[in-house]
Each structure stands twice: as C-alpha cells, then as structure tokens.
Chains A and B, each alone.
Chain A
Amino acid sequence: KQEVTQIPAALSVPEGENLVLNCSFTDSAIYNLQWFRQDPGKGLTSLLLIQSSQREQTSGRLNASLDKSSGRSTLYIAASQPGDSATYLCAVRNTGSSNTGKLIFGQGTTLQVKP
C-alpha cells in the first residue's frame, strides 16, 4: 500500500530564503508525482507535475525533483516571499492497470514566510 510522507509538517522562514520541502513515498511504482499548493479554505492549485520518467520540473522560482528509486521528491522554492505562505501537498499516482488513477496525498507542509 502506497504511503506518502511529507517533512517537515510546518516551516517558518524569513522572506528571501531558499527552502526545500520533502516528500517520500513507499512504493516506487508510480506513474507521476504532483505538487500542489492549498491556501486556507481553498482548493488545490497544481504547481508541478513530474512524470515517472522525468527527474525534475521547473516553473519560475519552483523546482521539483524526483528520485523514483529512492522514493523521494523535493520541492525547492527560491527567494521565498510572504505570498508563498500556504500548505504544500505532494501526491503520487500509482501505475497498474487496476488502478483508477487516484492520487495518494501526503499530509502537507504548512509554510509561513515572514516579511
């Protein structure tokens, strides 16, 4: 059974710092991994999607890496801003013909960037 873990659960940094959020998964047979952002009381916004054959994806100040063999992904945020404050969730989609394609989520990392 796939399990996704995110560390740390919460993080507080001063504005301008570079930071790394971690995500690990127990079953390396994934189809892809997706990072989301969730603001309080809101839905999820997709940040980056990494296919199993890819090693990393970049979008602006965000960079996500994937090491399938070790079951790890990291989300790197450069030059953090107060507007980056949110909960960041990673989710994996397993392979397998019997799989409906559902996502398995980590518990999230709540980030606070202080001005």
Chain B
Amino acid sequence: GAVVSQHPSRVICKSGTSVKIECRSLDFQATTMFWYRQFPKQSLMLMATSNEGSKATYEQGVEKDKFLINHASLTLSTLTVTSAHPEDSSFYICSASAWGRELGYTFGSGTRLTVV
C-alpha cells in the first residue's frame, strides 16, 4: 500500500512555456502533499506544502507565482512551473502522507524537468 504516482517522469520544454506535474496517491487519501526540488548531487529542498482544499504554504525563497500548486482532491496535487527558464531545470519530487502522524511519507518517482 501507500503508492504515489508522479507524472511525467521526464519533460523537456521551451523557455517561457509552462509545465504541469501531477502527483497522485493511488491507494490512500493524502491529506498533505509536499513538493521538493533536488539539484544534482544535493539533497531534497522542500518547496511547498499543500493541504487538500486550501492554499499551499511555500518555503522561504520559493516564488509562489512561479510554482503554482493545486491540491483540489485528496488524491491529486499538481505543481505548475510557469514561464519556465533554464534555471528551473531540476528534479522535482512529490511526497504524500495520510491521516495519522504515525505514518511515514511516500514519495513519487520524480520528474526531470529540462528547460531549453
């Protein structure tokens, strides 16, 4: 149980366009989802926390207008990188947790974004 599906796994887009990444919890209801960014050979940096039905909470230094997060249902959260630029190229990973603090987090397989 506790499977998180992330799509797409890879995307290449032109500078100035927008890209949407989906994160789905397949067999549980995710009350909270997290979006991380990972640069090569570095650890994960939390970008934002999204709770179903409410606005996302962004970490300091993360542009909320550039990284739009929507968590419209208990099984789906989306991250849209708007007006992407080459410096937005990175590995984006989502994670989800369900009710009950005793549970750990399940991570998606990640999305490699390349902006050309």
A2–B74 Cα distance when bound, in Å, is 29
CB contact between B107 and one of A32, A43, A49, A107 (< 8 Å): that residue = A43
How long is the Cα–Cα vector from A43 to B6 in the complex, in angstroms?
9
Q: B49, A107: Cβ atoms under 8 Å?
A: no
27 contacts between A and B (CB under 8 A): A31-B101, A32-B101, A32-B102, A32-B104, A34-B104, A36-B107, A42-B109, A42-B110, A43-B108, A43-B109, A43-B110, A44-B95, A51-B102, A89-B43, A91-B105, A100-B57, A101-B101, A102-B34, A102-B46, A102-B49, A103-B34, A103-B46, A103-B95, A105-B43, A105-B44, A107-B42, A107-B43
Interface of B with A (CB < 8 Å)?
Answer: 6, 32, 34, 42-44, 46, 49, 57, 91, 93, 95, 97, 101-102, 104-110, 112
